[in-house]
Amino acid sequence: MTLGTLVIMATMLVYFLLKNKRVLLSQKQWGQRGRLPPGPAALPIIGNMHQVILSKPAVFRWVHGLLKEMNTDIMCLRLGATHVIVVTCPQIASEVLRKNDEVFASRPTTFALGIFSFGYKGSIFSPHGDQWKKMRRILTVEILASSMERKLHHLRKEEYDYLVRYFSDLPASSTSGPGHDEVAHVAALFTALNHLYSFCVSDYFPALIGLDLDGHEKVSKDAMQTINRLHDPIIEERMHERSFTPEKGPRDFLDVLAHLKDAEGKPMLSLEDIRAQTAEMMFAAVDNPSNAVEWALAEMMNMPEIMQKATEELDAVVGKDRLVQESDIPQLNYLKSCIREAFRLHPYHALNVPHVAMADTTVAGYTIPKDSHILLSRLGLGRNPKIWTEPLEFQPERHLNTANVLLTDPGLRFISFSSGRRGCPGISLGTSMTMMLFARMLQGFTWTKLPGVKSINLQEGNAGLALAEPLVLQATPRLAAHLYI
């Protein structure tokens, strides 16, 4: 045990022994009022927080180890006064997101979520309330509506075309790679994503905010400082434009946000609203598509028969005389099965964004106290041996049992876009982005391992589920030269 760990636990114990008896009372009350889900033995005051601290940075591995050891699909941890419920069973997950969806329609208030949402101004991380309802409605009706998706198709097509040109020009070094700000932007977005709900000590012991005992507060602030530095000038320019420039149709989703008017013709959104929703759009767009495509390619490099089936489908559906388009996606069932399998086996996050119980309720016969945090395990659902045969094997064929393969699973056997009031309203857009990234890379290029590499290392990182080593491959164009111009 490190000195830092001892300091954290000693600080928590001393503070709460002196200042807080409510936790002990609540424990006694719940012992009398209901049966909580099973969980590990907890210490007075701090609950299981000492075990969380000792298992960092891979808390999720400790959590899933406990679930396996206890042979349960639902488990309750106690972190300070907060009950944290983890679920790995589709039936129980359906109780949370369907039967009790209204009860679990809120989010926790944590240091990182507050920073990343500009004080809970956006639609993804805000607790249940008027602000969340307003931003959710705007996101669903104005930004992610099918009509707007069609209007902005040309922007996505430009990016798809650029992707192909970028890879084809790499050998000649005629296409510049990402610049310093682009690299910093992506790094900051992923840093933020990795700290959205990372079992920060002060999230369960709010009186400790400011001490930054586990370093999460500084990391979150630094990531958001970079994002703001790069986002704010563009957002402020668009907001300035709206005061004197008549709207001629949106150039992108930021234009939509900047020009929204209320019933009196006044701007509907404040600067903070727009900053929050812009950041959340970025968070929602970068992790799952890139992670799923990287893992699918990595798996396919070790199983060339899968790569061959995917390219044969592209050649049969699209051919080699044009580039694959969004309109081709419905017919690319094998490619969709590969991405669906990557979502199942290799989620970027082990746990879903938490839900919060807004009232006492019951799930799977267990009492769930008000204010409990509910974590649906992407890892536990997607790799559940009770649900999936050979759950650790990459087998796209397991999904080819329908005429139109989707990247979602209505039975919640794995989670890609979630479900219910807090489900992602951008399923169509997310599917298009993910599939076009994957399809363009497979159609446009033959991918091979580097000289001397016999197989791709499929080891996960210690602190997360992404590949431990970035995937490095050689790309050789496989289409006519004019298609890369």
Q: What are the E-state strand segments in 296-443?
A: 355-356, 361-363, 366-368, 373-376
Place of tokens 């001397």: 452
Place of tokens 């001393």: 14
Three-point CA angle 262, 430, 105, nearest 5°: 60
What residue ranges of the chain have pLDDT lower than 70?
Answer: 1-33, 171-176, 245-247
8-state DSSP, 461: P
Q: Exposure string (b/e) for 277-308, b if CB count within 10 Å is 16 or more? A: bbbbbbbbbbbbbbbbbbbbbbbbbeeeebbe
Q: 3-class DSSP state for residue 184?
A: helix
| Residue (of 463, 472, 460) closest to 383 by Cα position | 460
Q: What is the pLDDT of residue 243?
A: 72
Alpha carbon of 176 to those of 172, 286, 342: distances in Å? 10, 21, 30
Q: What is the pLDDT of residue 370?
A: 98
Superfamily of domain 3-484 in the CATH hierarchy: Cytochrome P450 (1.10.630.10)
Q: 3-class DSSP state for residue 447?
A: strand
Query: What does the pLDDT look like over 400-423, one tens digit per residue?
Result: 999 999 999 999 999 999 889 999
Rounded distance, CA 230 to CA 333, Å?
A: 38
- Bridge-based pairing state of the strands 445-448 and 373-376: unpaired
Tell me, rounded to whole angstroms, the distance of Cα 220 from its chain centroid. Answer: 16
**pTM more than 0.75:** yes
